[in-house]
Amino acid sequence: MRQKDRKAIRDRRKVRPNRKKPSSHIVFARLNKNFIESMSCRLCTGIIRSLVESENPIRIQKMGDKTLITKLAIPAETSSYQEITIEFDDGSAHVTAVCRHCSGKLSNDMLEELYVTDLEQFERDEDEGRGPNRWDKLLTRVPTSYKVNK
């Protein structure tokens, strides 16, 4: 990734300073940094993904008069998880997630804040080998409207 593109992301962030640190809406597991433990809405910090107990146990052990039931903790969307599609001035679109409450009242400033946070995530992804991204396209488009996905 070119320095020029990194700077373009920083410049966009400066125009709209984030209320939270760029990556703080995602909490990674302590033992496995690729495992997402929870995710919060970037606008209000409400939890939109978290770990829940698996329905079926993976092991049941009888220990005397007690029974030990072992279940998995699996990441799942909470009831307030909401995907939206941000629409851009060049006719392109981008799907991202916020909470159900915030999804009903997003200004173009909020859409820009969400998009800049996603650009910062794309940058981290590319740094970790998940790329490359089309920065010439990603960095020049501006959010103009959005739709709440079904």
> How many residues belong to the site for Zn ion (CB under 5 A)?
6
Q: Which amino acid is at 110?
A: M
Q: Among the candidate windows 21-29, 43-51, 67-75, 108-116, which touches Zn ion by CB under 5 A?
A: 43-51
Among 9, 39, 41, 114, binds Zn ion (CB under 5 A): 41
Residues within window 51-110 making contact with Zn ion, judged by CB under 5 A: 99, 102
Q: Among the candidate windows 14-22, 45-53, 110-118, 126-134, which touches Zn ion by CB under 5 A?
A: 45-53
Q: How far is the CB of 147 from Zn ion (least distance, A)?
A: 17
Among 44, 69, 74, 148, binds Zn ion (CB under 5 A): 44
Q: Which residues sit at the interface with Zn ion, rule CB under 5 A?
A: 41, 43-44, 46, 99, 102
